Homo-oligomer: A and B are copies of this chain.
Amino acid sequence: MGGDRAPEIVLKGANIAADRCPELHFLLFGDEKIIAPMLVKLKRLQSRITIRHTDKTITNDMKPSQAVRNGKGASMYEAIRAVREGEAQAVISAGNTGALMALSKILIGTVAGIRRPAITSLLPTSHGEVVMLDLGANVDCDAEILSQFALMGQVFAKTVFSWKNPSVGLLNVGAEQQKGHDEIKKAASLIKENYPQIDFHGYIEGNDIAKGTVDVVVTDGFTGNVALKTAEGTANLVSEFLRQTFKSSVLAKLGYLLAKPAFHKLRHRLDPRRYNGAVFLGLKQVVIKSHGGTDAVGFAAAIDVAVEMIKNDCLAQMTEQFALHHETPVAAVV
């Protein structure tokens, strides 16, 4: 029931994802009176859906603490509980981000050894994609939390996208060792010390994200959120200027018509729907946040992320890696 055009785009998105993945089954949490009539048109989906009726929802203006206190029975709450109870393997929501994170932390919990889950997503680069975290879950991150993000991102990139030896960079204001604030410097030391299995590139700068200098970009949730939204804003600005350019003369309009098929490819490469589906990485189960303003194609992409995480057993790897590191040494003393 979450997002700007739910449950319509959720159903249509599920329909697209179901076509791509024949073994997929959906538990739909929401208002059956609204959902059932919409399903009539989606024939093939009907047999692969179970509706769990509730007319209670968590609204976008609700604070995380309110959602935790009063959420029981709401569609988001019950969907997360279904994952905890093993009825489903992943939850996907386009609703209230803060509420989804708070409820997931409480109902599902984090992998042993991981202090904080991070919002993790793919971003486009000049020659492919980059994994970036945290994109907004934790506005304050100390050095240990940042260092854990490095391992979380590396395991995610390795298992879900099969990248061989993903390199990890720490977002900073310069590449030199003395740059940045104390927590960044400590985080760099901790990564080198605690996780020698990581191909740690060191510091990177903002322009390195789109350049694809590294495979995984690690940063705190404040900086990551600002960087992500600044990138979106800049891409929109350049697109807007481009539109104006093509309207500025008759020749330019004609030029646009000729180049139109090529432009469709460009639009596809930068299509934010392709990158929809942010993972709440570090939780014991798969929780995916879809953009609230996306459409069916975008929502299907978010479902795809969940499918890939499950198929590639990402969280088992995550648990193993953190168990290896955080094992408490046991000594038998006589």
Q: Interface residues, chain A, CB within 8 Å of chain B?
A: 63, 124-126, 136, 139-140, 171, 173, 178, 180-181, 205-211, 219, 221-223, 225-242, 244-246, 248-249, 251-252, 254-263, 265-266, 269-270
Known: A205-B229, A254-B258. 6 other contacts (CB 8 A): A124-B237, A140-B181, A206-B225, A211-B233, A211-B236, A238-B238
Complexed CA–CA distance, A231 and B246 (Å): 23
Contacts A136-B173, A206-B230, A251-B259 hold; do A270 and B241 have CB atoms under 8 A apart? yes
Question: Shortest beta-carbon distance, A4 to chain B, in Å?
Answer: 16
Verify A233–B208 contact, CB threshold 8 A: yes
Question: Shortest beta-carbon distance, A24 to chain B, in Å?
Answer: 32
Give 10 nearest A-B pairs by CB, closest first: A206-B229, A255-B259, A255-B258, A207-B233, A206-B230, A252-B262, A210-B233, A210-B237, A234-B234, A255-B255
Q: How many copies does the complex hold?
A: 2
**From A219, A228, A232, A237, residue with most partner B Cβ within 10 Å:** A237
Complexed CA–CA distance, A178 and B139 (Å): 12
Complexed CA–CA distance, A63 and B209 (Å): 26
Contacts A238-B235, A241-B270, A245-B262 hold; do A173 and B225 have CB atoms under 8 A apart? yes
